[in-house]
Structure 1
Amino acid sequence: MLLGAALRPAGAQAAAATAAAGPPPIDAPAAVLIEPATGDIVYQRRANQRRPIASTTKLMTALVALKRLSLDDVLAQVPYAAAGAESLVGLRTGERMSVRDYLRGLLLASGNDAAETLAVRTGGSRAAFVKLMNAQAAALGLRNTHFETPVGLDTPGNYSTPADLAKLALVLRTYAFFRETTDRPDATLRVRGGRTIRVVNRNTLVQRIPFVNGVKTGHTNQAGYCLVGSATRDGVTVVSVVLGTGSEEARDRNSLRLLRYGLQRYHVIPAVKAGTPLASADVRYRDGQTLELVASRTVSRTVRRGQRLFTKVVGAPKAVEGPLAKGARLGTILVRQRGRTVDRVALVAARAVPAATATERLSDYGRRPGTLLLLGAFLGGSLLLVLLRRRSHRGEHGGAEAEIA
């Protein structure tokens, strides 16, 4: 008997949940907030407006380097003539350090000297590396993004949007090293030869707010104060971008409001739990026995509060016959979210079913109404045949005696 053939809600908490309050007051010139598991754009203000992006440019510098270099590669620092106010790791020309530490200096301290070395050593020249950056942007579908520098200083033609930067951050967050690095308050870089350099994360929200775990700051006169942010709490992750604010305080305030708003609006609920019976099947040759069909694994999904997940069982048999191993697949559970199938889970046997014995098969046949009718018909036919044969035999014997007399 099928228990889950129709769509049904998963997660009692979701049914009782209420939607979060409206969006917070945001005064950043351009901003976006994305919940990546659902793909929701939770908040946006001029999300596709092209703007200077300062050192958030270095996100693409990091991505190209991650794709083309090994973290264990060792690079020599190239000459870099920095202006007085630039952010630097503090490497001297010719000093050697691993790509791992160059990226930490790039992402935490926003080191322009680190960006220059990664660009030249990866692409052969700054210009060649910028071409790689733009090729990568095109491959990711960042249609409103263009680079003229791997560093992020104000340069005509170097721009992006909140929406594009959020997409770029999501790609980078698929790298465990990137997630770990941008969630660090500081790091110690090891220069070959014994010198160490301590760098501090310029994203002070990471240091102050436990659930904030990234991503990258930026600031120039033209771009204002910028921050690509991320936060994770109770399994929910959101990514924000704030561009063009007038101060670090405004940058952080707007970012934190967006991140908190996103985390409040979503939660993770189970769609199906491993071992939960969702259907059953009769066991042939064993009168009254049924086999539970259960979910093979647990599936949880991020959903907006007040929304639901649904499950639907397809392909489950009404009856099964042994031998059948525990865990044998006997159907599929469809997990549905917002009218789309978002996962498929095997529906499996909860226990093993041994092959039926000859006695069980005979007993089963004997219990069937059709079997009794057939047996009755067989016996009746057999009796009739015996009577006919006896009558025929008697007739033949009686005729012979008449002729002799």
Structure 2
Amino acid sequence: MFKRMFKSFFVLLFIALLNPFFVSAQEVYCNGAAGIVLDVETGRVLYEKNIHQELPMASTTKIMTALLAIERIPLDQQVKIHPEAVGVEGSSIYLKANEKVNIIDLLYGLMLRSGNDAATAIAYEVSGSVEDFSQLMNQRAKEIGAKNTNFMNPHGLHHQEHYTTAYDLSMITRAALRNPTFKKIVNTKFWLADREDYKHFSNKNKILSICEGGDGVKIGFTKKAGRCLVASATRNDMQFIAITLNDGDWFNTAKNLLDYHFESYKPYEVFKEGELVKGISVKNGEKMTAQLKASKKLVVPIKDGEAERIISIIDVQEPLYAPLMKNQRVGRILTYLDGNLINITDLTTDEDINKLSIKGKVLRFMNLR
């Protein structure tokens, strides 16, 4: 018995020495009170620990704040800083009352330096008050599917009724990462703001440096919430989110979770962007058949043996009616794994199809065209 255990230890040690990114199954454990690993493309949960437990989230709150700001304020707009945003406790970018700041600089100050004053300034600019902005945050959270989350402020300073779950936070982050501006901001290590004072913003998120492919997202800390981390990384056409809440070893936990799941799951390309998937009849068109294509590439993370359990179903009303424009959305591709819906991709036309003229209809009726 002892000899077998001794031999197994050296086998694992040998593999780890050969591959510095190897993490054994025994080491993959979330040290936080709750944690999750989620695939951004499909929303598939790859790892979970207490994912529906309601917990404070500290400054990971600002993921929602940033998303709403990007959705609601033009990026070239200047914001006049409301006096109530000045001197907010905790992390700060040292805003001054009535200072004019570009919204893009506020966003970088919010996400890289975790400025609580930047969060408050955004709340006043979008909604006129922290209270009204918090209601907007809660409304947007429900739209995303975060049903066990309640925001009381835009920054994450402790409030008894301010909470989320690891699952909800992953869904909010997934929605945010689908926004190109948000994705770019959280993947930035350094930003020079257009200000006279305090304009050098370096990113506090070490995941960008210590994790292969690390590209986001947000750290947070309060005494009540502990250390909270939403991390993301992209490898082999897959982007995973790893979250750990109330975790003293937050960066190592997130890195290990990401490394292990990138090692365990391989990318499976279901279809390519622009791949023709179906021909469908067209009424009253110069062409009688329209070729339909996938609007974007779909890559699904899978384990061995799962590929044959993926099914894609085309959902489109037939026939189509001319005129049709190239890239017009006409249906959907529904992709399932083990009977569970994991992705919906738009189905679009591959070319323009003009409406048939009266002359053309006559010729077609006479089989001359």
What stretches of structure 2 of length at least 5 have no aligned partner? Answer: 1-22, 278-290, 315-332, 351-369
Q: Which stretch shows the higher mean deviation, 217-226 or 56-65?
A: 56-65
Q: Which stretch shows the higher mean deviation, 305-314 or 263-272?
A: 305-314
Higher relative contact order (CA 8 A, sep 6+): 1
Report whether the alignment pairs 1:205 with 2:207: yes
- Secondary structure of 2:54 counterpart: coil
Shift of 1:205: 1.4
In 2: Cα distance, 1:313 partner to 1:143 partner: 29
In the other structure, the counterpart of 1:11 is: none
Structure 1's 48 and 340: CA in aligned 2 closer, same or farther, altered over 3 A? closer
In 2: Cα distance, 1:173 partner to 1:276 partner: 25
Residue 301 of structure 1 is aligned with which of 275, 299, 302? 299
Structure 1's 199 and 334: CA in aligned 2 closer, same or farther, altered over 3 A? closer
- Secondary structure of 1:245 counterpart: coil
Of structures 1 and 2, the larger Rg is shown by: 1
In 1: Cα distance, 2:209 partner to 2:54 partner: 30
Report whether the alignment pairs 1:264 with 2:266: no
Contact 2:93/2:198 (8 A) holds in 1: no
What stretches of structure 1 of length at least 5 have no aligned partner? Answer: 1-19, 279-293, 315-332, 349-405
Q: Which amino acid aligns with 1:89?
A: I
In the other structure, the counterpart of 1:105 is: 109
Alignment of 1:180-191 (within 5 A): 180-191=184-195
Paired residues, what number? 290
TM-score, normalised via structure 2 length: 0.70
- Secondary structure of 1:132 counterpart: helix
In 1: Cα distance, 2:335 partner to 2:42 partner: 14
Contact 2:35/2:245 (8 A) holds in 1: yes
In the other structure, the counterpart of 1:31 is: 35
TM-score, normalised via structure 1 length: 0.64
Residues 126-147 of structure 1: CA deviation (Å, up to 9, x unaligned):
2221121122222223211101
Residues 123-167 of structure 1: CA deviation (Å, up to 9, x unaligned):
111222112112222222321110111121111101111000000
Shift of 1:26: 2.3
Shift of 1:245: 1.2
Alignment of 1:161-310 (within 5 A): 161-191=165-195, 194-195=196-197, 197-246=199-248, 250-271=249-270, 301-306=299-304, 307-309=306-308
Shift of 1:251: 0.5
Structure 1's 232 and 251: CA in aligned 2 closer, same or farther, altered over 3 A? same
Q: Which amino acid aligns with 1:60?
A: M
Contact 2:58/2:228 (8 A) holds in 1: yes
Residues 201-232 of structure 1: CA deviation (Å, up to 9, x unaligned):
11111133341111111000000000011110
Residues 167-198 of structure 1: CA deviation (Å, up to 9, x unaligned):
0001111111111110111111112xx55601
In 2: Cα distance, 1:259 partner to 1:214 partner: 12
Residue 63 of structure 1 is aligned with which of 42, 62, 67? 67
In the other structure, the counterpart of 1:95 is: 99
In 2: Cα distance, 1:66 partner to 1:34 partner: 23
Contact 1:187/1:199 (8 A) holds in 2: yes
Indicate the RMSD between aligned Cα atoms, in angstroms.
3.4
Structure 1's 92 and 263: CA in aligned 2 closer, same or farther, altered over 3 A? same
- Secondary structure of 1:219 counterpart: strand
In the other structure, the counterpart of 1:82 is: 88
Structure 1's 257 and 77: CA in aligned 2 closer, same or farther, altered over 3 A? same
- Secondary structure of 2:246 counterpart: strand
- Secondary structure of 1:190 counterpart: coil
Contact 2:33/2:246 (8 A) holds in 1: yes
Q: Which amino acid aligns with 1:258?
A: L
Structure 1's 299 and 76: CA in aligned 2 closer, same or farther, altered over 3 A? closer
